């Protein structure tokens, strides 16, 4: 993969001169003599810079050149044997693809660091399993539990300067994150390895685009001010939603003063997301397909890139294994500002968290309807857990709606219970899905009702849900059947926002 205008050693030299902190030499297809010769030449570059050289797999080569350490995989020499051979002072790393392997590495008492992955698909090596950030977080939970072992960790697989800050953000749990990343082609295949290394270093220390740096705790919001702020900015709500609710979702969006667009043309997503105008994306998994999944992923990439809000509605995630797997793919691929669903859907998403322990529990959904039975304490625990895991805001819908703030681990106890609505809301197709349209409108407009330079996405979501519930309550008072309720509901949304 080394470009024609450079050499293998030149690429390494440019990397260590521009920010690389450790080098691992991995050779699978050359003779032992050539491996030793190459390792000596690499050491001539790394030693003057005081940068450790780790030899992959081959303890004999590491000893022959007096390298700084060895890295072994799960199919290589056991870590305990490698430690005996290299002695107590050399660095020893182990590849770990799941929590069980990470536990074994920690409990061996001989490992200095673990390489966690494979994070994303990569052409550098044959990949059996891609774990994504969800899998990495499960191993981080193990490392946190074994903190007395002081085992460091790096994520590996498909990492580059376009996603490194996202990797650092997503591969973290309270009290534990990854210590760095391991890359190959990102630098070794770069036409300018020096610039590529500098870009990666910069990206690793950069904030993710969607992160609001101001953290507000307990600030009160004025609900009507939030509605007026949303109306004033007239945000665009980009829907990639299910075929059943498109018309109703568009009408709900218009009723609250926002502008809907229903687009599954991936080629125009960049133009929407990069616009300076207020815009947000709703990804609704109601009628999924393989083709639509690619559309979802492109939308998530573009809106994350420009720091614009994305709402995920994992419709019927608990109904089938295929839908839960689709949710896993999306949650691994990027960050969602809000995850909204009924208790059955959110309890399915909880199966993807680092704290989940598999059980023989019953299904939580029948089609798109929740059949899960949770008391309030269980709902609150569920919401906090999922919000904290995905560093997002979680909305659990039902007779009462609950909004949980996991955007900052400093405010993970923030939640709001919102009553109101009407039983007819469960008798009309689309009322659950269209709540996502209203929430996304408030997020895109940054309509939190606080009236200051500080912004709270949590408060914006709460204001949106309160509006929706209040409109449902008023519509229920004025009607006695689902058909007339639908019309009245749209009218009440419009009146609340436009007339106050």
pLDDT band at 121 (very low <50, low <70, confident <90, very high): confident
Q: What is the pLDDT of residues 254-296, one digit of tens each?
A: 999 999 999 999 999 999 999 999 999 999 999 999 999 999 9
Tell me how far apart the alpha carbons of residues 187 and 18 are, in angstroms, rounded to a whole number. 11
Domain(s) labelled CATH 3.20.20.70 in the chain stretch across: 8-205
The answer as to CATH 3.20.20.70 being correct for domain 8-205 is: yes
Please tell me the predicted confidence (pLDDT) of residue 394. Answer: 98
Tell me what pLDDT residue 408 has: 85
CATH 3.40.1190.20 in the chain is located at 223-499
Structural contact between residues 348 and 322, judged by C-beta atoms closer than 8 angstroms: no
In our burial notation (b when 16+ CB lie closer than 10 A, e otherwise), range 313-340 reads bbbbbbbeeebbebbbebbbbbbbbbbb
How many CA atoms lie within 13 Å of 318's alpha carbon, on the beta-carbon side?
22
Q: How confident is the model at residue 212 (pLDDT cuts 50, 70, 90)?
A: confident
**pTM for this predicted structure:** 0.93
Residue of higher predicted confidence among 400 and 371: 400
- The 10s digit of each residue's pLDDT in 455-479 is 899 999 999 999 999 999 999 999 9
Q: Which pLDDT band, with edges at 50, 70 and 90, does 76 fall under?
A: very high
DSSP string, 152-170: EEEEESS--TTTHHHHHHH
Is the CATH number 3.40.1190.20 carried by domain 223-499?
A: yes
* CA-based nearest residue to 284, from 243, 335, 343: 243
What's the DSSP call for residue 413? T
pLDDT averaged over the chain?
A: 93
Residue with more model confidence, 454 or 38: 38
pLDDT at 497 (0 to 100) = 94
**DSSP letters for 285-331:** -SS--HHHHHHHHHHHHHHHHTT--EEEE-TTTTT-HHHHHHHHHHH
pLDDT of the residue at 357: 84
Other Cβ atoms closer than 10 A to 492: 23
Annotated catalytic sites, by residue?
433
């Amino acid at each position: 993969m080394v470009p024609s205008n450079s050499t293998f050693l030149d690429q390494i030299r440019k990397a260590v001169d521009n920010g690389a902190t450790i080098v691992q030499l991995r050779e699978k297809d050359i003779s032992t003599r050539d491996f030793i010769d190459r390792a000596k030449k690499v050491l001539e570059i790394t030693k003057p810079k005081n940068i450790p050289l780790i030899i992959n797999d081959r303890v004999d080569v590491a000893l022959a050149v007096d390298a700084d350490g060895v890295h072994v995989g799960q199919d290589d020499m056991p870590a305990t044997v490698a430690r005996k051979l290299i002695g107590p002072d050399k660095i020893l790393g182990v590849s770990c693809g799941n929590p069980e392997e990470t536990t074994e590495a920690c409990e061996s008492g001989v490992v200095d660091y673990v390489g966690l992955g494979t994070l994303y698909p990569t052409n550098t090596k044959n990949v059996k399993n891609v774990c994504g950030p969800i899998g990495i977080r499960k191993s981080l939970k193990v490392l946190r539990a074994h903190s007395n072992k002081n085992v460091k960790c790096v994520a590996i697989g498909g990492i580059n300067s376009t996603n490194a800050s996202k990797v650092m953000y997503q591969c973290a749990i309270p009290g534990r994150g990854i210590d760095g990343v391991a890359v190959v082609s990102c630098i070794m295949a770069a036409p300018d390895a020096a610039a590529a290394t500098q870009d990666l270093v910069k990206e690793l220390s950069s904030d993710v685009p969607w992160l609001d740096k101001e953290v507000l705790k307990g600030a009160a919001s004025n609900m009507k001010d939030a509605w007026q702020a949303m109306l004033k900015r007239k945000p665009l709500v980009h829907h990639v939603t299910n075929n059943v609710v498109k018309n109703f979702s568009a009408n709900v969006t218009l009723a609250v003063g926002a502008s809907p667009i229903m687009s599954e043309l991936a080629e125009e997503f960049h133009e929407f997301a990069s616009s300076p105008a207020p815009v947000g994306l709703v990804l609704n998994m109601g009628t999924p397909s393989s083709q639509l999944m690619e559309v979802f992923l492109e939308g998530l990439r573009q809106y994350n890139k420009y720091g614009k809000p994305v709402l995920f509605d994992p419709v019927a995630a608990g109904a089938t294994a295929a839908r839960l797997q689709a949710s896993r793919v999306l949650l691994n691929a990027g960050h969602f500002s809000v995850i909204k669903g009924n208790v059955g859907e959110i309890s399915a998403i909880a199966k993807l968290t680092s704290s989940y322990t598999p059980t023989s529990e019953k299904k939580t959904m029948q089609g798109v309807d929740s059949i899960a039975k949770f008391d309030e304490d269980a709902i609150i625990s569920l919401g906090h857990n999922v919000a904290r895991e995905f560093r997002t805001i979680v909305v659990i819908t039902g007779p009462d709606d609950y909004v949980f703030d996991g955007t900052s681990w400093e405010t993970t106890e923030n939640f709001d219970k919102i009553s109101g609505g009407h039983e007819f809301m469960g008798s009309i197709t689309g009322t659950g899905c269209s709540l996502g349209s209203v929430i996304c409108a408030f997020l895109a407009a940054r309509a939190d009702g606080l009236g200051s330079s500080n912004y709270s996405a949590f408060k914006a979501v709460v204001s949106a849900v309160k509006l929706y519930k209040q409109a449902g309550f008023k519509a229920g008072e004025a009607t006695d059947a689902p058909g007339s309720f639908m019309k009245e509901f749209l009218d009440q949304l419009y009146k609340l926002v436009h007339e106050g």
